Amino acid sequence: MEKKAYLEIQFSWIFALIVGAIILFFAIFMVIKFVKTESSSQNIQTSKEIGILLNSLETSYEEGTSNLIALPQYSKLYSTCSNSGNFGTQGILVNEKVYGKWQESKIPAIFEDKYLFLDNLSEGIDFYVFSKPFEFPFKVATLTYLTSSIQQYCFINPPTSVKEEIIKLEQTNLVVSESNCTSESPIRICFSSGSLNCDITVKYNEKFLVKEGKTFWFVDDASMYAGIFSVKDQYECQMKRLMKRANSLSEIYKEKILLNTYSSCKSDVLLDLESFISYLNSYSDSKDFKSSNLILTELENKNKYSLCRLW
Amino acid sequence: MVKKAQVKIQQTAFMLIALTLFFVLVGLFFLSFKLSGLREKATLLDEKNALILSSKIANYPEFSCEEAYDSKRVNCIDADKLIVFMNFKPKYSSFLEISSLELRKIYPKQTSEIICNSSNYPDCNYFKIFSGENSGPDYTSFVSLCRKEIYSGAIYNKCELAKIIVSYKIK
């Protein structure tokens, strides 16, 4: 009898313990999953908010001014780029550091109308953003450059226009003289061939820059900054997206000339627009910018001196 | 004795099942509460986006006047570009992440509403650029709407006052 009673208690206890452990394991598993989802959702929310904040920088009167974005946590910012679709997409990904541990998130906030350039080293709490219009030859988009406040960029011997622009920005992590280049590991951007210890060499008149052994071709200051503040694959992808947008805008301008009011204007931009569209269709990478000079000048001049300007 | 033991096991099993069900229900309630919060946050972000876009959209190169009307103008929409843009709408359907985008001429005042299309342009006063379903509240901003006109054989710039209306999609 005693044995039976002993067995009875033992069995119910074992049963309760096993099922209890399963419930506890399931509960812990769910809590961990939930915390991960919550931190991912927080990261996506921050990414989306950054994207929305960038909207206010894109109005033409905000161009050429620098703004500070302060994040709630120490974070790493990533930019993703895709060429698929009509205009490609820009992704913004934020990974926060919570209690010394990175909360990895793999889902970026996606935007079709943004062109954000940032370096691999973009981490910190405070980030500087400034923007510039990309004109090719008409305004195609506003390019936004994001840098961490803890990363210093030293512009060594820049041309006057670049120097004046950077001084006007009043962005503390961008300096234009070697004497102010005081941080521990600054990124040195050299504009003259004699400079030493250069991370980026810019051949301003030849319109290309070399970074990490890779060549970035540019057309104007906006695309030059894009090369300075981004990595090669991102730069090429964003340029391709910009060319897609330029193509669509060219089509709009081409149809605009065909409106009745423009028939009385003596405008021969149409033919140039057509050859510009075929140039844009054949664009493959930034090396193709080398051959754009002639057509851009033609288009710009013909539009400028036309009786009814298209842009 | 065997029966008593079986009853005890059954009791424990029922108790554990009830406990599990209770926790599952509490978990489900908590999750649905959190999810509704997420949806609210997403709607709030879309609302913020629409608010900023309403003041920014006039400066998109697809709509803006640029320097076509003498000097560079801020918050100026090129009506000639806008009417052409209507043919490119499908290409831009997901571009702006908004539900609807409209533009109404408000000055000089016109008696009836005429929706613009390529056959009645420029004798119209309402551009329906995008019109989606489940639109949220409207956000508006004022812009100048410019176009080229011909008068006695000469081309001149004509600018009127218009209101741009943006609304976001309710999730």
- Taking only the tens place, the pLDDT of each residue in A36-50 is 777 777 777 887 888
Q: What is the pLDDT of residue A62?
A: 56
- Say whether A86 and B16 touch across the interface (CB within 8 A): no
Q: pTM (2 decimals)?
A: 0.86
Single-letter amino acid code for the residue at B137: P
**Residue B81 to residue B63: CA distance in whole angstroms:** 6
Percent of chain A with pLDDT over 70: 94
- Say whether B38 and A41 touch across the interface (CB within 8 A): yes
Instruction: State the smallest CA–CA distance between residue B162 and chain A in angstroms.
Output: 18
Instruction: State the smallest CA–CA distance between residue A171 and chain B in angstroms.
Output: 24
Task: Name the least confident of A115-119, A251-255, A284-288, B10-14.
Answer: B10-14
- Taking only the tens place, the pLDDT of each residue in B67-96 is 998 888 888 999 999 999 999 999 998 888
CB A153 within 8 A of CB A187: yes
Mutate to test the interface with A, among B45, B63, B87, B93 (most CBs of A within 10 A): B45
Looking at the predicted structure, is the pLDDT value of residue A4 above 70?
Answer: no
**Residue B21 to residue B54: CA distance in whole angstroms:** 49
Q: What is the pLDDT of residue B19?
A: 83
On average, the pLDDT of chain B sits at 86
> What are B78's strand-pairing partners?
B146
Q: Which ipTM was obtained for this model?
A: 0.82
Q: What is the pLDDT of residue A36?
A: 78
A38 to chain B: closest CA residue: B34
Look up tokens 């709490």; give the residue.
Answer: A125
- Say whether A259 and B84 touch across the interface (CB within 8 A): yes
User: Furthest-apart CA pair in chain B: how many Å?
Assistant: 113
- Taking only the tens place, the pLDDT of each residue in B89-127 is 999 988 887 889 999 999 888 788 999 999 999 999 999
- Taking only the tens place, the pLDDT of each residue in A51-94 is 877 877 766 555 678 999 999 889 999 999 999 999 999 999 99
Look up tokens 């006109």; give the residue.
Answer: B149
- Say whether B150 and A261 touch across the interface (CB within 8 A): yes
| CB-closest option in A30, A139, A141 to B66 | A139
| CB-closest option in A8, A245, A307 to B5 | A8
**Residue A191 to residue A205: CA distance in whole angstroms:** 10
- Taking only the tens place, the pLDDT of each residue in B25-68 is 888 888 787 777 777 877 888 888 888 888 888 889 999 999 99
Single-letter amino acid code for the residue at B112: S
- Taking only the tens place, the pLDDT of each residue in A84-124 is 999 999 999 999 888 888 888 888 989 999 999 999 878 99
pLDDT tier, A5 (very low <50, low <70, confident <90, very high otherwise):
low
Looking at the predicted structure, is the pLDDT value of residue B8 above 80?
Answer: no
Instruction: Kindly list the residues from chain A whose CB atom is less than 8 angstroms away from the CB atom of residue B155.
Output: 261, 264-265, 307-308
How many cross-chain Cβ pairs, A to B, lie less than 8 Å apart? 120
| Residues 6+ positions from B127 with CB-CB distance below 8 Å | B82, B83, B86, B102, B103, B104, B115, B116
- Taking only the tens place, the pLDDT of each residue in A158-208 is 999 999 999 999 999 999 988 889 888 899 999 987 778 899 999 999 999
- Say whether B20 and A4 touch across the interface (CB within 8 A): no
SS3 annotation, chain B: CHHHHHHHHHHHHHHHHHHHHHHHHHHHHHHHHHHHHHHHHHHHHHHHHHHHHHHHHHHCCCCECCCCCCCCCCCEEEHHHHHHHHHHHHHHCCCCCCCEEEEEEEECCCCCCCECCCCCCCCCCEEEEEECCCEEEEEEEEEEEEEEEEECCEEEEEEEEEEEEEEEECC
Looking at the predicted structure, is the pLDDT value of residue A305 above 80?
Answer: yes
> What are B160's strand-pairing partners?
B145
**Residue A184 to residue A5: CA distance in whole angstroms:** 76
Instruction: State the smallest CA–CA distance between residue B35 and chain A in angstroms.
Output: 10
**In A42-186, at which residue ranges do the beta strands (DSSP E only) sit?**
66-82, 89-98, 101-103, 109-111, 116-118, 123-135, 139-148, 153-156, 174-175
Q: What is the pLDDT of residue B50?
A: 82
- Say whether A308 and B66 touch across the interface (CB within 8 A): no
